[in-house]
Structure 1
Amino acid sequence: MQIAIVLYPDFTALDIIGPYEVLGRLPGAEVVFVAEDPGLVRNDQRSLSVSPEATLDEVTEPDIVLIGGGPGFFGQLGDGKLHEWLRTVDRTSTWTTSVCTGAPILAAAGLLQGRRATTHWSAFGELERFGAIPAHERVVVDGHYVTGAGVSAGIDMSLTLAGEIAGEETAQMVQLIIEYAPEPPFRAGSIDVAPASVVERARAALG
């Protein structure tokens, strides 16, 4: 089972590393990081670089496609090589998935037309702009598309997908291995519950 995780400049690290930790532990999993071009790809904080194992041209029929988000997603909304690759591999993939603002990239490629999808709370307008139906949920499954909300939701999305692929007990085993039992010290993880002042600062930080 080949899992292709897409890299592009200014990606958010947890968007892809969370799912990597979950999906890479499934039986028979072969994870390959792919990018349009060879060479290191730097994340949004400019302090971490990941080296893709293959270019898009070298990965033609992955079983699972995963694209994360990050500030760099704006540069990936125009039609081009990545969109062409996404449309091609989507024809044969068992699952096409996204985390955070990876969903608008899938939508811009024409894959989420008329489908329910979620993304980071700041980017629901982008989903709607490209014909998807925004769903304010942590994880959304519509057909063979699975989308996760912002950043940390990639772990939830991947565990949901793991249950679909390998069964709930295996997914729970992975959850236990990575000890995913969040107990955040603050009630500010959703725009619905965060204090107004925090939301204002978050919007400013996101630009």
Structure 2
Amino acid sequence: MQVAIVLYPGFTSLDVIGPYEVLGRLPDTEVVFVAEHPGLVVNDLRSLSINAVASFDEVPNPDVVVVGGGPGQMEQMTNENLHEWLRKVDRTSTWTASACTGSMLLAAAGLLEGRQATTHWAGHEILAKLGVTPSKERVVIDGHYATAAGVSAGIDMALTLAGLIAGDDVAQTIQLIIEYAPEPPYHAGSPDSAPAEVVERAMKEISA
């Protein structure tokens, strides 16, 4: 099985590294980082780069496609080369997936029209304008599309896919190996649970 994870300048690291850590541990699986232009691709904090070993044309038939989000995603909303590749590989992929605002790129490519999907909590209105029914669920499965809410939810999405692809025992084994048992010190992981002043501060930082 081949998993293609999309990179572009300004991606959020955990959006792609979380799914990589999970899906890369599935039996007989090859993970390939792909980009429009192969080579080192720098993240949104400009302090970490991942090597995209292949161009879009070099990965024509992945079994699973994963698109992460990040500030750089906005520039990709009109990248027809990326959109064309997403539409092409989606025709034969078993799963087309996203983490965080990566679902906006799937929607911009026309893949999620009329479907339910999730994204980062700050992006629900944009997703709706793209013809998608936004959901507050952490992971949404609609057809062969799997979308995750913000950043860390990509791990949940990948574990969900691992279970659907290889069975619950394999997925649970991976979860144990990576010791994914979150116990955050604060209850500020969503706008519904975070203090109002924290939500306000977060919105200002996102909009800056």
- Whether the TM-score (by the shorter chain) exceeds 0.5 is yes
The runs of at least 4 consecutive aligned structure 1 residues that moved more than 6 Å come to: none
| TM-score, normalization by structure 1 | 0.99
Shift of 1:39: 2.1
* 1:48-63 pair list within 5 angstroms: 48-63=48-63
Gaps of 5+ in 1: none
Q: Distance in 2 between matches of 1:125 and 1:39?
A: 34
Q: Distance in 1 between matches of 2:150 and 2:2?
A: 24
Q: Counterpart in 1 of 2:121?
A: 121
Amino acid at match of 2:9: P
Shift of 1:165: 0.2
Q: Counterpart in 1 of 2:147?
A: 147
Amino acid at match of 2:127: L
Q: Counterpart in 2 of 1:197?
A: 197
Shift of 1:79: 4.7
Against the structure 1 CA distance between its residues 79 and 13, is the aligned structure 2 distance closer, same or farther, given a 3 Å change threshold? closer
1:158 alignment partner, SS class: helix
Q: Counterpart in 1 of 2:177?
A: 177
Q: Distance in 1 between matches of 2:165 and 2:39?
A: 32
Q: Distance in 2 between matches of 1:203 and 1:142?
A: 29
Deviation track 1:150-203 (CA, whole Å, cap 9, x = no partner) reads: 000000000000000000011000000000000000010011100000000000
Gaps of 5+ in 2: none
Superposition CA RMSD, Å: 0.6
- Alignment check: 8 A CA contact 1:99 1:151 kept: yes
Q: Counterpart in 2 of 1:21?
A: 21
Deviation track 1:129-154 (CA, whole Å, cap 9, x = no partner) reads: 11111011100000000000000000
Q: Distance in 1 between matches of 2:17 and 2:56?
A: 19
Q: Distance in 2 between matches of 1:7 and 1:25?
A: 20
Deviation track 1:46-72 (CA, whole Å, cap 9, x = no partner) reads: 000111010001000000000000001
Question: Are 2:106 and 1:106 equivalent residues in the alignment?
Answer: yes
Identity of aligned residues (%): 67
| TM-score, normalization by structure 2 | 0.98
Deviation track 1:88-124 (CA, whole Å, cap 9, x = no partner) reads: 0000000000000000000010000000000000111
2:88 alignment partner, SS class: helix
The alignment covers a number of residue pairs equal to 207
- Alignment check: 8 A CA contact 1:79 1:108 kept: no
* 1:34-45 pair list within 5 angstroms: 34-45=34-45
Question: Are 2:66 and 1:86 equivalent residues in the alignment?
Answer: no
Shift of 1:2: 0.2
Question: Are 2:2 and 1:2 equivalent residues in the alignment?
Answer: yes
